[in-house]
Structures are given as structure tokens and as C-alpha cells.
Chains A and B, each alone.
Chain A
Amino acid sequence: MHNSSCTVKETARKILESGQAERLLGWEQDSSGYNHAPAVFKSAGELDRFIYDRFCGSNLSKLLARLREAEGRTAVLLKACDRESFNLLVREHRIDPEQVHRVDIECSGMVDIEKLRNKGIKGIREITESGDELHISTLYGEKRCRSEEVLLEKCLSCPAVSSADAFDAVGQMEERSSLERYEFWKEALSTCIRCNACRNSCPVCTCEQCIFDNPRSGTAGKASADFFEDQHFHLVRVFHAAGRCTDCGECTRVCPQGIPLYLLNRKVIKDINELYGELSLEDKELGKGALTSFSFQDAHPDIIRKRTGDQ
């Protein structure tokens, strides 16, 4: 891990020193050691703060859209899952690829601090790895755990890291009865504090004006009478990203309440794959997304009613 971190930093240094880009988007060392935030580096000298390790889960591509007005070229470091978001932003004209120096970097999975904490591993100082084991040096001594036990949810289905099927959990949810699903989501979604972090971090949520900023959106009541506002908020969010979500996992990663938002996003992706053919984001042109196109043979919505399972 150290090696890869050093090479990434070296690459960053070369880009800034050679003037290939005016600035570089990367991650900055966080004092806690496990929550490295995205940062802009304007010169090689600033790279002292630069870090690339197992805690750089954040997706930098959305920040490119914010830097669109900046003078000169911006270099950006993209992990495999971030590239999909990057491609989508280019396709939707949120990023001008001419203005971007894109650097694809390797990633062997990012660690989910919550999962580590749940294992009782706290006071982390450094993580090294050997094979599929992580060696964590903490204030309370050395700890070990298998890396797949503590990776971010999205990494568990990333082909570069694991061979698990991303849609297994969705399939299991579908098997449950309708009432069970209702109870599950009621419990999960009612913990949402409407911090909007999932929206703000989502690379496909780039509208300048958003329904959730409208005080009359019906999702921002402090004392809601029942569960409707939560359902409403999450349906709107997932539907807005429907057909565009690249399953980058940012929403799930940033949610302070640990709501499994990926189960909603992946449900849409699974439906699209099954009904309208594999949702390949790689080669889709603009205007050819799942919801911005159609075919004469598309199924009638009645197929949902014909699904097996009770209520």
C-alpha cells in the first residue's frame, strides 16, 4: 500500500511540476487519519498534505463540475469506480474533457471506518496489508482483520477487488414479503435526518436548482406526522438518479445514519438490466439513457403486478 501511495504522490508531483495542469484534485491528510477529504493542490510544494491510502473513498469527479469555471487545466485522480462518474459527467456536458488532465489510479478497495469501529478497532494510526489481511496499528496495540470484512459496500462488488455479485442483496430483499420490505424500509429510512449529504456528494446530482431546496418540497418538515416524508425524499432521490446512477457508492458512504442507499440504487439498475438490457454506462451516448429512450417492445408496467409474492 505504501508503494502505491508513493507512486500516486510522485505522479501528482510530476504533473504539478511540469505544468501539465494548473491544479490537482486529490486527497488531503486528515488529522483523524481515516477521513481524508478531497483537496485542491496548486503547486508541488503543497503536496506535503497529499495522501492516498485505504481511506480515500471520496469520489473527486463531482468537484470537477464545480471547478468548471476555473482557469487552466485541472488534473484529477480517478479510481476505477470514479471513472464511471467522470464519463457520465463528460457525457452530460458538466465537465469539459479538454480542461481536464485525467489520471487513472489503482485501488485495492477502500476501508469503511464504520465497519472497523463495529469490530472494536479504534485509535487507528496506520494500516498496512499483507495478502488479504489488514494489519492495523492502533493506540491500543496491533489488530488484524480480513480486508473484505471492512471494505466499503461498493468495493465488495468491484471487479478489481472482489467477485461478489452487486445484486445479491437486492435479490434477497425482493424475496421478502411486501410487508417485510415495508417494515425494513420504515425502520431504515425513518432514521434519515435529511442532511442532504447523499444528494450533495452524488456526482449525478448536478442540477443548480433542486427540489429539496424548495421549502415546499414536502420533505423538509421537522416534525413529520408519519413516514411519508422519508419515503418521499428517498423516492425522489433515487428516481432522479435512475438510469444515470453509476453505483459509485458515494451516497451510502457519506450517509451519517448508515442507511443502505445502495439497495435502492442497485434495485433500479437491476430492473433496468433485466427489462431494458444491460445498463452499460461506458458506451451510452447522451439521450440514450434508460429513461431517455425506449423501445417498441418494452414491457407493460403490469409485469410488476404479476410478480410473485404476497403483499
Chain B
Amino acid sequence: MSVDKQPFKPLIAAFCCNWCSYAGADLAGTSRLAYPAEVKIIRVPCSCRVNPLFVLRAFQRGADGVIIAGCHPGDCHYTTGNYYARRRMTLLFSMLDYLGIEKERTKLDWISAAEGVKFATVMNDFSKEIHALGRNTRFGDLRCTTAVAQ
């Protein structure tokens, strides 16, 4: 059976900072709020730890969308990490858009440890967008993704 005939199940990489968003995900879990299983959480010490290369690598390995979640501005555990992340990701997302990669495939949001509901909402919304966009065909490495797709 050809790969395309299978229903599209996206893969979403969510980089969550250890201090806020990862705890937010925990809270969503303990509050029994549902968010899509296709969201794969990767815990990072700070949103600022997300090297632009991580985002590229996630796409290479078959991600259809990448989201970065960190503490709200002003609440960073390391005081200013998320401000740097904000600039860096703005420029990166803009460059990806410029290269013709759909701008809806990347997102950054602030989710605190107390915002389990927000975590679930953000992930649900993002996943809906990715479902609407379909498979990522413009920015992935076939050699890394065929195994996943089959």
C-alpha cells in the first residue's frame, strides 16, 4: 500500500522549557486535559537552549510542525533566556518563510507552569493547523523519514 493512502498522522516536535512549559504539560496531564499524542515533547532547560539547528533537525527527522514553549517574558528561570529565544526564533521563522516553507509550521508560545489548560489548547490548535496543512513536503529529508512514514 502506498504511503499516501494512509491517513495523515502528523508528527509535532514541542520543545518545552523545564521550568514553565514542561510543568504546564505535567499539569495538563494530571488535570486529565487531552492533547494530541502526535505532539512529542522534548524537554530543554530553557527556551533559549533551542539552537536553530534543533528546529532544522526536527524537520529533517520528519516533523510536520515545530513548536517552542517557554516561560512568559519576565518569568524566565534564567531571567532573560526567553528574550533571546524570542529574537532568534523570529528571525529563524522569518527565514524559513522566506525559503518558502509554510510559516504555519513553526510556532513559539509562552506557557507557564500553572497553565495546564493553555498548554492543551495551544497544542490542540497547533495540531489542527498542521492537520490542515498536511504532510511537510518542502523541508524534510527522505532518508530520515521513509521509515517513519511507512
Contacts and interface: CB of A to CB of B under 8 A. Distances in A.
Given A232-B56, A301-B86, A271 B100 contact: no
A181 B141 contact: no
Contact of A307 (B88, B97, B106): B97
Contacts of A173: 98
Interface string A274-304: 0110000000000000110011101111111
A296 B104 CA distance: 25
B87 A296 contact: no
Given A181-B98, A182-B138, A242-B91, A294 B103 contact: no
Contact of B94 (A225, A271, A276): A271
A299 B96 CA distance: 17
B45 interface: no
Contacts of A179: 100
A236 B99 CA distance: 13
Given A235-B95, A299-B90, A228 B103 contact: no
Nearest to A305: B103
A307 to B, nearest CB: 7
Contacts of A184: 100
B93 interface: yes
Residue among B92, B98, B103 having the largest count of chain A Cβ atoms under 10 Å? B98
Nearest to A189: B99
A286 to B, nearest CB: 16
Interface residues of A, number: 48
B13 to A, nearest CB: 16
Contact of A238 (B95, B102, B140): B95
B139 A268 contact: no
Contacts of B88: 291
B53 interface: yes
A212 interface: no
B90 A296 contact: no
A275 B90 contact: yes
Given A226-B141, A239-B52, A300-B86, A268 B100 contact: no
Interface residues of B, number: 38
B90 A267 contact: no
Contacts of A178: 97, 100-103
B73 interface: yes
A307 B90 CA distance: 12
A228 B144 CA distance: 11
A231 B93 contact: no
A225 B91 contact: no
A234 B98 CA distance: 12
A120 B84 CA distance: 50
Given A271-B94, A291-B88, A226 B99 contact: no
Given A301-B108, A305-B107, A181 B91 contact: no
Given A226-B142, A305-B104, A294 B99 contact: no
Contacts of B73: 296
A207 to B, nearest CB: 14
A304 B103 contact: yes
Interface string A217-245: 01000001110110110111011001000
Contact of A296 (B83, B91, B102, B106): B83
12 contacts: A178-B103, A236-B52, A264-B98, A271-B95, A272-B91, A290-B91, A294-B83, A296-B73, A301-B107, A305-B93, A305-B104, A307-B103
